[in-house]
Amino acid sequence: MLPSSSTTRDAGTPPATRPDDGSPTRDPSPDTGQATAPSFFGSTALHQSLSGLTAGASTTLLLHPLDFLKTRMQVSSGYTSSLRTARGILANEGFRAFYSGLTPSIIGTSLSWGLYFGWYSFYQRLIAPDAVPAYSSTTGQDQVFLTPLQTMGASALAGMTTSLMTNPIWVVKTRMCVQQHPSAGGPPAYSSVSSALLSIARNEGLRGLYRGFGMALLGSAHGAVQFGVYEPLKRHVSVFRFGAPGQRLSATDQLLCASVSKVVAVVSTYPIQLVKTHLQRERVKHLKISTLLREIFVANGVTGLYRGLGPALLRVLPQSSLTLLAYEQISVLLDTSQS
């Protein structure tokens, strides 16, 4: 169990009084008396959900071709390099193939970011009720910070809950990405998200919609690592820049923190994502995770466990960094204490 008693107030932060610049103070919570950040919606969870949903949708539209390329490389041993794979797909299936699975990707990413940040806020409050909401963690006002262990716990729980709610969308997205585009000859197996969901449910049942769910739960470690690095790193950068934690960082510093945390998370948890993608395919010989890992390792060695890492990093680094930056900026816009 995560120790709530380990949440400490950083030394040197001023009390929750009206700042010198005349900006409004936080009103104390009627239940706990703790300072809380005003939100446009009056709800921390809804505030974070909308910020995450908007940020996720915008970056997915821009970077989906790289996600498509990563998925193709993960499920086929015939693709040996990102550039060669891209050229082959372009020659055989055309440019539009790179946007196969775009609709479920937008739905899944938007929902995932929105739900994730909403649940992240909920679990933060559950673990450390005295902590200031994460979206206001750059305002420089009176704050109680979660420890890295508490941050990782809240992030992991948020990831698990989000996976439970969105796994069917990701199964559909994977299926639509690995099927041949119509321009390559023959009709596609799935023509739309709704038809794919109905087809999988009818032919494979609930189990088909939740293929790879076990690995998705393990994949919650990805978010735990990312935010376990991201949140403390922001505070360290704030101390380095301003001499105190909790100051509002520049866009450049936010991008730096987001990029570093994402690289650490991707490299440390990528084999989990690889196995999940294999399990979500329509016809796999083995459903046991251990068997699948062993087969990949025997066939391709350690490098096989990191197949597609290149395009994955090319996609997730800008996507995650821009998503977190957009999330921070949208959160500031919705924070009524800044108006």
Rounded Cα distance, 84 and 98, in Å: 14
pLDDT confidence tier of residue 280, bands split at 50, 70 and 90: low
Residue 44: count of CB within 10 angstroms of its CB:
22
**pLDDT of residue 300 exceeding 90:** no
219-228 per-position pLDDT tens digit: 788 889 999 9
Q: Is 33 left (phi over 0), alpha (psi -120 to 50) or beta?
A: left
Q: Please give the pLDDT value at position 229.
A: 93
Tell me the CA end-to-end span of the chain in Å, nearest whole number. Answer: 39
The pLDDT-based confidence of 31 (bands split at 50, 70, 90) is very low
In the prediction, which pLDDT does 45 show? 66
pLDDT tens track for 113-149: 888 888 988 898 899 887 655 444 444 444 567 888 9
Residue 61 structure tokens: 């539209």
Closest CA to 195 of 315, 116, 104, 277: 104
Residue 242 CA, chain-centre distance (Å), reads 29
More confident residue, 299 or 78: 299
Give yes or no for a contact between 78 and 166, defined as CB atoms under 8 angstroms apart: no
- Which band of pLDDT confidence, cut at 50, 70 and 90, is reported for residue 185? low
Please answer whether residues 56 and 326 qualify as being in contact, where contact means their C-beta atoms are separated by less than 8 angstroms: no
Its pTM stands at 0.65
Q: How confident is the model at residue 2 (pLDDT cuts 50, 70, 90)?
A: very low
Give the pLDDT score at 210.
92
Note the CATH architecture for domain 42-338: Alpha/alpha barrel (1.50)
pLDDT for 92 equals: 86
pLDDT (tens digit per residue) in 205-240? 999 999 888 878 887 888 899 999 999 999 899 999
CA count, 13 A, side-chain hemisphere, 93: 22
- Per the CB < 8 A criterion, the answer to whether 89 and 143 are in contact is no
pLDDT over threshold 70, residue 24: no
The domain segmentation of the chain, as residue ranges, is: 42-338
DSSP structure class, residue 24: P
